[in-house]
Amino acid sequence: MGKHMTRKIFGTDGVRGLANTAPMTAEMALKLGMAAGRCFRRDGRNHHRVVIGKDTRLSGYMLENALTAGLTSTGMNVLLLGPVPTPAVGRLTHSMRADLGIMISASHNPFQDNGIKFFGPDGFKLSDEDEAAIEAMLDGEIELAQPQNIGRAKRVDEGRQRYVEFVKTTFPVGKRLDGLKVVIDCANGAAYKAAPEALWELGAEVVAMGVEPNGVNINDGVGSTAPQAAAERVLREGADLGICLDGDADRVMIIDETGRIADGDQIMALFASHWADNGRLKRNTLVATVMSNLGLERYLGGRGLSLLRTPVGDRYVVEAMRAGGYNLGGEQSGHIVMTDYATTGDGLLAGLHFLAEMVTSGKRASELATVFETIPQMLKNVRYVNGNLPLENSDVRKVIEASELRLQGKGRMLIRKSGTEPLIRVMAECEDEALLADVVAQVVGAVTQAS
């Protein structure tokens, strides 16, 4: 094990990888369970609980059992929630007074991948420090519980119902979804039961798709990363709205009745402006990442609202929200974080709040879903030889500086290294598409030469 630990196994969203390949093996899950159990079992009492949720991937069974063995070996009691959305695990870790929550999921990735994310007792994803503490224990001998102190494990079915009931309580008092036809695409993933239940119980006519998971069809041609299927279904059914979740249901894309797809930026723009009108948007600020469209920033600026940008990754959005006392944030990819209600992005919650806007305003989805004009965006990836540092090359820097000058007042440019592979990502936005293409080509050319 020692030699693998030089690279941090925790990435921006827990541990992730190809199932049955390090670090996503049963052996590593067992070790992680032992280490996490040891870290969070802060005294010898035997009342320690861990809740574990998962999505619908085939490898979930293997990882769930391995984690359970590791955790119980250190004296933790394990409550197995079965398939539930990631936000439900955050919620239930806190409400069931657990010491730790674990979600087994690789979110929007294909079924071959899986991941393990940890939540602290407050329901928020673990800090870097806590993750580092767990990781540091993986190398050493982990102290196991005495035979009489080994933990128990049991399945709890009421976890999903608790989450559904909670989500419904966030809907405006006295309002219902009667008379609305809603397509809900669950990506054959974790929300395949919870999401249609919540919508139906609130009175909607529900057309559910992506609700037949078989272990290998999660995110396959359905869900928020492939919303075309749901868009077609909305039109075919004459539905009022489409809600597209990803495999672990912490992301959403909204489809209006004309089949148009609204991404996270449009949804955040709508919520931010309406919350601000009602004095609900804390510090008149929306938190989003550097990838959010310039059109969103300009729209908010025009309304006297601020956009606070963070690095890419929903955990950085949540960190900034908690640090600054903001209550609305998210990502263009569809993470919508409303800390008044949830500790993480929640696609079902965001979908319900969009429906609440429709119900309270009496407007159709198409009147709400396109809040601002998107400014044309171009993203090119340039592969480089490992060990090279193309962004530190002086010629590249000159070209980037010249390009930024050309875009001043007309757009913006963002150049960053990929966190996962040897790529430089060159992204620019500009109303003038010819200028946009030219600027990106210049920078890509310079980076390619230095790579």
Q: How many CB atoms lie within 10 A of CB 2?
A: 8
Q: Are residues 309 and 387 in the same domain?
A: no
Helices (H), 74-122: 86-95
Question: Which residues does the chain have with pLDDT short of 50?
Answer: 1-7
Q: Are residues 365 and 382 in the same domain?
A: no
Q: Are residues 208 and 145 in the same domain?
A: no
Q: Are residues 404 and 300 in the same domain?
A: no
Answer whether the bond into residue 23 is a cis peptide, omega within 30°. Answer: yes
59 catalytically annotated: no
- How much is the pLDDT for 45? 55
pLDDT digits (tens, 9 = 90+) for 379-434: 999 999 877 888 999 999 999 999 999 999 999 999 998 877 789 999 999 999 99
Q: Are residues 184 and 149 in the same domain?
A: no
- Which residue, among 268, 293, 296, has the nearest Cα to 376 in the 3D structure? 293
Of the residues 107, 273, 333, 403, only one is catalytic, namely 107
Q: Are residues 422 and 360 in the same domain?
A: no
- How much is the pLDDT for 43? 58
Q: Are residues 238 and 219 in the same domain?
A: yes
Q: Are residues 327 and 390 in the same domain?
A: no
- How much is the pLDDT for 42? 64
Q: Are residues 358 and 214 in the same domain?
A: yes
Q: Domain limits at 94?
A: 2-156
- How much is the pLDDT for 436? 96
Q: Are residues 254 and 318 in the same domain?
A: yes
Residue 142 to residue 33: CA distance in whole angstroms: 11
Point out the domain boundary residue: 124, 156, 188.
156
Q: Let me know if residue 175 belongs to a domain.
A: no
Q: Are residues 316 and 408 in the same domain?
A: no
CATH of the domain at 216: 3.40.120.10
Point out the domain boundary residue: 369, 394, 409.
369
- Which run of H or E residues covers position 185? strand 181-185
Q: Are residues 192 and 315 in the same domain?
A: yes
- The structural domain count of the chain equals 3
CATH of the domain at 433: 3.30.310.50
pTM of the model: 0.92
- How much is the pLDDT for 421? 79
